[in-house]
Amino acid sequence: MFRKIVIPGSIVLASMAMLGSPATAAPPSTQLSGAIFTTDESGNPVNLNIYDSKEDVFLNGGPGINAPDDAAGLPAGTYSFQVTDPSGETLLSTDPVACRQFTVDASGVITSVAASGACAHVTGTSTEDGGLTVQLFPYNDTPNNGGVYKVWVSPTNLLDCSAPNARHCFVPRYSKTDNFKVRHPLIVEIDVRFWKNGVAMDGYAAHWTDTNGASNTKYSEWNPAVLAFHEAHFEAVEPGTHGIRVNSQPGCTIVSVQPPAGKAVNGNRGWANVSVTVADHAEGDHTYFVDVTCA
C-alpha cells in the first residue's frame, strides 16, 4: 500500500493556426477551459497515474472524474496532442502532429480521431460517458529520472510554432496538460481538499497551472482504489513552482486557503491563487496538501 507524507511546501500568493500557416482568427485572451486526464483504454483512472507500459496510457476528454453534471468539458472542436518530458523541452511523440488529432462534441467528450488509416491512433470507449479514449502511443521513453511524462492538448487552430514559450508549437496558455508515469513507484502529487464545518467535500473544482504555464482542472473525490481521499489529485508533478487556483462555487464560498506551512490566504474576493514549490524528490512518497475552507 502506498503511504502519503505531507510536505511543507512553499506556498505564497500568486497574484494556430494550423501548423505552418497563419491563424484564421485572433487567439482567445484567456486560458483554455475544460479539462483532460489520462486513463486506461476503458476510461478508468489508474492508481496515482502510474502505468505498466507506455501503450496502456489513453487520453480522455473532460470534464473529469467526479465532476458535477454541469461542469464544462473541452469546448467543441478539433484538438492536437503531444507527449513530452515534464519540462516540455523534449518532444517524445514520434509520429507527425497531423496524426495526433481528435474531435470533441458539444458535451465535451471525444467523438473521433481526425487522422485515418495507419496514421490513426488506437481508440477505446469510456465506460463513464461513452466517449472515445485515445491511445497516446507511439512516443519515446522520457529522459526524466522519475519516469514522468506530460501530455499536452491544444486546439489545432491555435498551434503556433513562433509563439513565445511555445513547446513544439503548443502554446502553454492555450493548452491542457496532465502528467503520468510508466513503471516508476516514486509518488509526488499536489492534493487539494475542500472543508465545510469540518467535513471534507467531494465534487469541487481546483485549477492547476504547471511549471510551463499550461493548465488543467481536477475535482475532489472519494476513491480509495486510486488513493483519492476527498482530494482533487494533481499527480506526478514535476519539480518547480506550480499554481493552484480555487474559486467560490455552489456549496463552497471560499473563506481561506491554508498552505502546508504559514498563514492562510483570505478568500474574500471569491477566489484565491497560491503557488506550490515542489522539490526534486529522488525516492519515497510525497504529497503537497492545499486545504480550502468553505462557508
At residue 54, the pLDDT reads 95
45, 55, 74 from 204: Cα distances, Å: 18, 31, 18
> Which tens digits make up the pLDDT trace of 40-81?
999 998 988 999 999 999 999 866 666 666 666 789 999 999
First to last CA, the chain: 34
At residue 173, the pLDDT reads 94
Q: How many residues does the chain have?
A: 295
How many Å apart are CA 217 and CA 176, to the nearest integer?
A: 9
At residue 11, the pLDDT reads 36
By CB neighbour count within 10 A (0-12 exposed, 13-18 middle, 19+ buried), where does 68 fall? middle
| Residues of the chain scoring pLDDT < 70 | 1-30, 62-72, 116, 261-262
% of the chain at pLDDT higher than 70: 85
At residue 27, the pLDDT reads 53
At residue 129, the pLDDT reads 81
Range list of β-strands (E), 176-282: 176-182, 187-196, 199-201, 205-209, 215-219, 221-223, 228-235, 240-247, 254-258, 265-266, 271-278
At residue 7, the pLDDT reads 47
At residue 294, the pLDDT reads 96
Domains in the chain, CATH or no CATH each: 16-182 (no CATH), 187-294 (2.60.40.10)
How many Å apart are CA 98 and CA 81, to the nearest integer?
A: 10
